[in-house]
């Protein structure tokens, strides 16, 4: 058996693992990263990037389809579009391929050694990697577990055949005529909306009383409205039971206690993701757990000295940028820097239509801190830029302490507002007050003026409402 030694071994080259390895390499740490599949992990290969590519393609298709149906308010008409979905998928795959190469190149440039294969623990300092051409033993002074998460399977609807996870949904050969989506959260609604725009008849089955139950109703309502406009059927308080006899549909218990059978070419199950903690000898380390996740402290240290964990395997929010920030921090800690997790907030964006951006605390979360709060919103229907985009749905909302006006949270819903997340995050991270936002000139005409106006409104002197 071949043997290698290093100072740092990273298991998993997703956003957490590759960011950790690159930063470690930059800091001169002798680093090996082991990846069982492709560099970039879930996010780059079967998550963030391919889903956003399909969402963009679906938007473009739907714009032309609307024009062809004479529904363009802009006066544009077009011939009925056709879709070469194989080409759409090939375009998406090419983006993924280029980024795969990019991550591999960045690792190499940072001096990180990459080993392709599946790692499993022998003990807290030794890992065995099963490669295509044999087995490699790796000894390390420190190990970072960055193994990510996997889709949750419903026992009554195991994956296979028509029942698919997001991974298969991102690689379908054709747009399904009828798509049933079980779970109206992030993935179900991002992909369900995209397939509806590509022309599928989409039904969303959500167990909670409303879609996107992780957000408050004020935020989810513009998305629900747009889903209705796109012809998506949404069944709330509904539970998927099992495949219908013959396998061509889904038995559902509806909110009123009734039963329904939904015909489907594909059933996309998106009811959450679970940490990847089994099948690689983790039990040999006997780490403290936090429910199904690996328990970590504010330095991403596990209960075993020299073993760190980052990213989805450590819990919510399961977001790529959290994993990356943890990865960079751990590399610096291993290099001897004094670092701890001190971020004010982790932004979250749901790439639905309209998009949702949340940073910090919602009004109800902020109220639970014990501070009295001020919360105000500015609707996009009063924003010139939103009107010129023919998208006046949504708003920007600020949540601030009533006594000193320090911002505690910022939320927005609006077409294409994902990029505003940077302004929101910066404001929170720098401890901005409503007065700071009010005193900042926001360029006109932009949707960002909604942020300015929400702050002005909270101070009692909005200009445009």
Q: Where are the beta strands (DSSP E) in 36-162?
A: 113-116, 118-123, 126-131, 134-145, 149-151
Peptide bond just before 445 cis, omega within 30 deg: yes
Tell me, by CB under 6 A, how many residues bind ligand FAD: 35
Report the residue from 119, 219, 361, 428 that binds ligand FAD according to the rule CB under 6 A: 119
Question: Rule CB under 6 A: is residue 205 a binding residue for ligand NAD?
Answer: yes
The smaller minimum CB distance to ligand FAD, of residues 166 and 411, is found at 166
Segment contacting ligand NAD by CB under 6 A, of 185-193, 302-310, 384-392, 425-433 = 185-193
Contact 398, 456 (CB under 8 A): no
Do 415 and 55 meet the contact criterion of CB atoms below 8 Å apart?
Answer: no
Q: Single out the catalytic residue among 122, 337, 444, 464.
A: 444
Nearer to ligand FAD, 312 or 328 (CB): 312
Stretch that binds ligand FAD, among 43-51, 76-84, 226-234, 450-458 (CB under 6 A): 43-51
107 sits near ligand NAD (criterion: CB under 6 A): no
Give the one entry of ligand NAD, ligand FAD, none that residue 154 binds, where binding means its C-beta sits below a cut-off of 5 to 8 angstroms depending on kind: ligand NAD
**Among residues 113, 139, 178, 239, the one that binds ligand NAD under rule CB under 6 A:** 239
In 3-state terms, the chain is what percent helix, strand and coil (to 5)?
35, 25, 40
Q: Cis link prior to 386 (omega < 30° from 0)?
A: no
Q: Which one of ligand FAD, ligand NAD, none interacts with residue 42, CB within 5 to 8 A by kind? A: ligand FAD
Q: Which residues, 6 or more positions from 441, have their beta carbon under 8 angstroms from its beta carbon?
A: none
Determine contact, residues 405/426, Cβ cutoff 8 Å: no
What residues have CB less than 8 Å from 254, skipping those under 6 apart?
A: 235, 237, 238, 260
Instruction: Using alpha carbons, select from 44, 59, 56, 58 the residue that is nearest to residue 93.
Output: 44
Q: Does 307 bind ligand FAD (CB under 6 A)?
A: no
For the bound state, the minimum distance from the C-beta of residue 235 to ligand NAD, rounded and expressed in Å, comes to: 9
Specify the stretch interacting with ligand NAD by CB under 6 A; choose among 136-144, 268-276, 293-301, 457-465: 268-276
The Cα 176–Cα 214 span in angstroms is 28
3-class SS of residue 21: helix
d(CA 451, CA 377): 8
378: DSSP letter: E
Residue 442 a catalytic site member: no
Would you say 186 or 198 has its CB closer to ligand NAD?
Answer: 186
Q: Figure out which of the listed residues 8, 14, 249, 380 binds ligand FAD, where binding follows CB under 6 A.
A: 14
Instruction: Tell me if 42 contacts ligand FAD by CB under 6 A.
Output: yes
> Interface residues with ligand FAD (CB under 6 A)?
11-17, 34-37, 41-43, 47-48, 51, 118-119, 146-149, 166, 187, 276, 280, 311-312, 318-321, 323, 351
Residue positions annotated with a catalytic role: 444
């Amino acid at each position: 058996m071949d043997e290698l030694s290093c100072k740092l071994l990273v298991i998993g080259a997703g956003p957490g693992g590759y960011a950790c390895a690159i930063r470690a390499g930059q800091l001169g740490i002798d680093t090996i990263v082991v990846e069982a599949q492709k560099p970039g992990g879930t996010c780059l290969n079967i998550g963030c990037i391919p889903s956003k590519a399909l969402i963009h393609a679906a938007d473009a298709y739907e714009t032309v389809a609307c024009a062809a149906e004479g529904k363009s308010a802009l006066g544009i008409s077009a011939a009925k579009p056709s879709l070469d979905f194989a080409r759409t998928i090939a375009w998406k795959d090419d983006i993924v391929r280029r980024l795969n190469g990019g991550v591999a190149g960045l690792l190499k440039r940072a001096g990180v050694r990459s080993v392709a294969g599946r790692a499993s623990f022998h003990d807290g300092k030794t890992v065995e990697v099963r490669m295509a051409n044999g087995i490699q033993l790796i000894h390390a002074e420190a190990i970072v577990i960055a193994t990510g998460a996997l889709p949750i399977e419903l026992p009554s609807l195991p994956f296979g055949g028509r029942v698919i996870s997001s991974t298969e949904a991102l690689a379908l050969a054709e747009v399904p005529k009828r798509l049933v989506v079980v779970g109206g959260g992030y993935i179900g609604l991002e992909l369900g909306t995209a397939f509806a725009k590509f022309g599928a008849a989409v039904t969303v089955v959500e167990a909670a009383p409303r879609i996107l139950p992780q957000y408050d109703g004020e935020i989810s309502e513009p998305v629900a409205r747009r889903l209705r406009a796109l012809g998506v059927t949404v069944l709330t308080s509904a539970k998927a039971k099992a495949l219908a006899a013959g396998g061509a549909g889904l038995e559902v218990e509806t909110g009123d206690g009734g039963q329904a059978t939904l015909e489907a070419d594909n059933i996309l199950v998106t009811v959450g993701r679970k940490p990847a903690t089994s099948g690689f000898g983790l039990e040999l380390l006997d780490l403290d757990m936090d429910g199904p996740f690996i328990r970590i402290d504010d330095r991403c240290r596990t209960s075993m000295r020299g073993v760190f964990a980052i990213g989805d395997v450590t819990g919510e929010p399961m977001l790529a940028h959290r994993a990356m920030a943890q990865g960079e921090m751990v590399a610096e800690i291993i290099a001897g820097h004094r670092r701890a997790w001190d971020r004010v907030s982790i932004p979250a964006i749901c790439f639905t239509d309209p998009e949702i951006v949340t940073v910090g605390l919602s009004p109800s979360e902020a109220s639970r801190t014990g501070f009295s709060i001020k919360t105000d919103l500015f609707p996009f229907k009063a924003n010139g830029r939103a009107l010129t985009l023919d998208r006046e749905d949504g708003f920007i909302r600020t949540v601030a302490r009533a006594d000193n006006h320090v911002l505690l949270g910022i939320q927005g819903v609006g077409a294409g507002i994902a990029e505003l997340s940077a302004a929101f995050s910066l404001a929170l991270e720098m401890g901005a007050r409503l007065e700071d936002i009010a005193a900042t000139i926001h360029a006109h005409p932009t949707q960002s003026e909604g942020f300015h106006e929400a702050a002005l409104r909270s101070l009692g002197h909005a200009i445009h409402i």
